[in-house]
Structure 1
Amino acid sequence: MQRRSVLSLAGATLAPAVIPVLGHAADTLTELRLDYATYSPVSLVLKKFGWLEEDLKRDGIAVKWVFSAGSNRALEYLNANSIDIGSSAGLAALLAKANGNPIRTPYIFSRPEWTALVVPKDSPIKTLADLKGKKIAATKGTDPYLFLLRALQTVKLHRSDIEHVGLQHADGRAALEQGRVDAWAGLDPMMAASELDAGSRLLYRNVAFNTYGFLNVREDFLARQPALVKRVIAAYERARLWTIANTSEAARILSEEAKVSLQVALLQLKLRTDLSQPQPSAEHIKALQAAAPILLEEQLVKPGTDLVKTVEALVDTRFAQGLIKA
């Protein structure tokens, strides 16, 4: 692992012309490691066009992209110091933070409806109450898994009332369509593909139970490389604005990367992805604090964990100010 040093430059602004050049001391960072994911279409756009590589090349900094199959993978990579910046769902980030993952969130990459509870098209299951005793696939440590627990809670069911089958998202879809599980806590674009290609049915939807897309940074990296993190956010902003202005083309990029049809990609990007709120705010803090009790009730964190303070320690509402355009 290459050694990394502190950069003492002032914070960057969005305009590339005034972003400060990083220093060239002997111990300067030479590689930035960040993830990309099909549940974060903006990350695919940024990777596709190489805007971050173009910006950092002048400082001799290479960009290493690591694929995240789900929030759990991104958070594992961050915790293991395998990446510096990674994308996950908000509630999954809170769970990780509460359990010791040293991360902070200075940017919101989307407000999605990326998860729902899915059943086969011919399933006799009609209501959430019908899930009692059933096999349900979900990726532990991700928004779909936590969505499942919150959904069950609305009909007074708990994790112990179902048979949880721990599978990564793509495997969960396969298990559903092959009849090996009764339901699946889905994730787009696999969920949209299952709907359109296999006729799978969304049993339960709740936009409020889908937490925001969090761009997380290791705390030590954020402290040592604040100017570089601001440049990453500026690049994300460029990709976000391009995606809003070129949704159909962004859907083609998503389609190619995720190996799904253009129709599936358009369903995810046009109907289930809101890119209008990238600045972390009191709204995101409030949403996480409302969702947090499920972590204690299902014993996913240590008893007595102060989740209110953990949320405040996770969501950075000030770092990206000045970098984000309307």
Structure 2
Amino acid sequence: MANIRNFCIIAHIDHGKSTLADRFLEITGTIEKRQMKAQYLDQLELERERGITIKMAPVRMTYKLTTNDQRPEAVNQKSSVVSRESSSSEYILNLIDTPGHPDFGYEVSRALEAVEGAILLVDGTQGIQAQTLSSFYAAKKSGLKIIGAVNKVDLFQQTRTETDITRTVSDIAQTGAESSRLDSVIEDLAYLIDCSPEEIHKISGKTGQGVRELLNDIVARVPSPQAYLEKSQQLSVSSRQLSVFSRALIFDSFYDDHKGIIASVRVFDGEFTQLEDVFLIAAREKFRVKEVGYFSPSLVAGKKLAEGEIGYLVTGIRLQRAQTSSFRFFLSGQSR
């Protein structure tokens, strides 16, 4: 688990979450350039028509550090467990892109339960907005490591050429005002997160400026996953019984005509394999896992999903037998 980082991007609507996710996909080589398109993770037809994210989108990326910096000890705020950085330079980054519109706040809340860190993204031209605050407080309540980033800094930059001598005094004054505005947004975000302005990343999701440095910071500052046991009273299972089961959170689900309900999961304890019997707690439904795998962002089948990983399980359950909204935690029938 030491080389796994689970995180999401949270922000106000139109502050550039999906565009930033595009740059992550490019830098990590998850999507080839010839296949790349704007807002790649927004796959729903309605999302592409309206230009907004409606459904959360998970994706697994493999990333190699570009620096020799080694991370010091870090504390996992969810479990208060100290974890150490692995000597390996290759990391699995599990990203969940979330909606920014307040009508889809439930999607954000589910994503926050599945990760250890969050990028709080702010549009440098607009500053902190209502949904910025809402998402921040939700992430803080979940105990996530929050990394601040100000987007669209390319709009504040002007290429200087020899013709700049012809710029008027008013042009120069306007440039100074814009720079001051950007500094003000950075200071506001730093104050909100309670960090120094130097820790806020200045990025451009459009040009890719500062994005690689942001990825490096995610590796350095977001804790690796830790075994997490929810209070046994909430599950009506004793601690002794709970310890022998594999457990995962279903943070999303969707229906496939051929495979039935496919659950997007975060594994907290143990592992899940194909043909394993699993019990859904909320739905009181038992099923045998037809397939396991991860999002790349398309479905990629694998042998198992281990502790700390994010991926999917093909349940084979039809809508007549269970509603996707009833999914929450589930236990496997096999002991560890």
Give TM class, smaller chain: under 0.3
Higher strand share: 2
Q: Give the greater-gyration-radius structure (CA).
A: 2
**Which protein has greater RCO, CA pairs closer than 8 Å, 6+ apart?**
1
